[in-house]
Every structure is written in C-alpha cells, then in structure tokens.
Amino acid sequence: MGTTLDTAAAFCYEKHMRNLKLLAMLLLTLSCSVYGQDAHALKSVHRVFIEKMPNDLDQYLRAEIAKQFKGSLIVVLKKEDADGIITGVNEEQKGTAAKVTGRYLGLHDTVNGTISLLDQTESEILWSDEAGDRNLFFGIAHRGGERKLADRLIGKLKKAMEAAK
C-alpha cells in the first residue's frame, strides 16, 4: 500500500513540476517578446514632438535633447512629423523652507518630474521615467530646478535609447 502512495505522490510531483516548467517558459517567452517589441519601437524613434508642460519644462527638454543627442534625436514642431511624442508633468516645492532645505542644503528635491515617450498614435508608452533636482554636493553653486530635472530625464532617455540599439 505504501508503494502505491509513493508512486501516486511521485506522479503528482512530476506533473506539478512539468506545469511549472511550462509556465516559466511561457513567461520567459512573453517577457522577451514584449521587451523586444519595446526596444525595437524605441530605437525607431528619431524625431519627437514635445507637448507643452508646466513651468516651461518642455523648453528645457528641447535644449537638453539638442545638447545630449547632438542630432541623433530631433525635436519637431508639428505632431504629425514626429515618430514619438514626449509628454510629462512636474511639481515644484514652493516657499522659503523648501528652498533652504532643498536647494541650499540638498536634503530633498525642490522640483520633481515625470516624462513619457509615446508612439506616434499616442496609444503605447515606449519609455517613461521620473527624476528630481536634488544635489547633495554642490548646493547653491550648482544649477537646479527645471534645468537640472530636464538634464536628468533626457540623460535617462538617452541611456534607454542607446541600450535599445
């Protein structure tokens, strides 16, 4: 009787392990195809349109794209001419206390932002990230605000696009 239970338990264990292996292979296949699709779509973007953003963050993003991409990514002024569309939001801490503890002492971000790169039809997010302007080392002597935020966000976008190639 003990051998029958052992055989049944072994059969159930083997069946369970087989199902787990199939599930793992399916998940791996799906994740690879999704990653490959995003990477392919991201590397096909060469011209972007930047939507208007609060606190003129869009202007800083344009300047940073020109500075960091050096022509490999071009900002266009008409949405229909773009391969991708950059949208985003940012938030600024107001008040003297926020400026002292954030900008001068570097204890927290005074400006936070998130941008997303969408496909041409605005139906798929190709890339998205967030950043802040905190700087612990330079304090008042170093740039901050929207300019620092744009520098960090476009730096992250550049790394993602280079990884996709």
pLDDT digits (tens, 9 = 90+) for 62-79: 999 999 999 999 999 999
Residues 34 and 89 in one domain: no
Q: What is residue 27's predicted lDDT score, i.e. its pLDDT?
A: 53
Residues 27 and 54 in one domain: no
Which parts of the chain have pLDDT scores under 70? 1-12, 15-38, 92-110, 134-144
Residues 33 and 6 in one domain: yes
Q: Is 153 exposed, middle or buried (0-12, 13-18, 19+ CB in 10 A)?
A: buried
Q: What are the two backbone dihedrals, phi and then psi, of residue 75, each rounded to the nearest 5 degrees? A: -90, 125
Residues 149 and 121 in one domain: yes
- Percent of the chain beyond pLDDT 70? 59
Residues 73 and 121 in one domain: yes
Residues 25 and 60 in one domain: no
Q: Which domain holds residue 86?
A: 45-164
148: CATH: 3.40.50.10610
What residue has token string 């059969």?
A: 11
Query: What total number of domains does the chain contain?
Result: 2
Residues 4 and 61 in one domain: no
Q: Give the strands of the sheet with 47-50, arranged side by side.
A: 74-76, 47-50, 84-92, 111-119, 125-132
Q: Which amino acid is at 27?
A: L
pLDDT digits (tens, 9 = 90+) for 118-130: 999 999 999 999 8
Residues 30 and 60 in one domain: no
Residues 8 and 79 in one domain: no
Residues 94 and 120 in one domain: yes
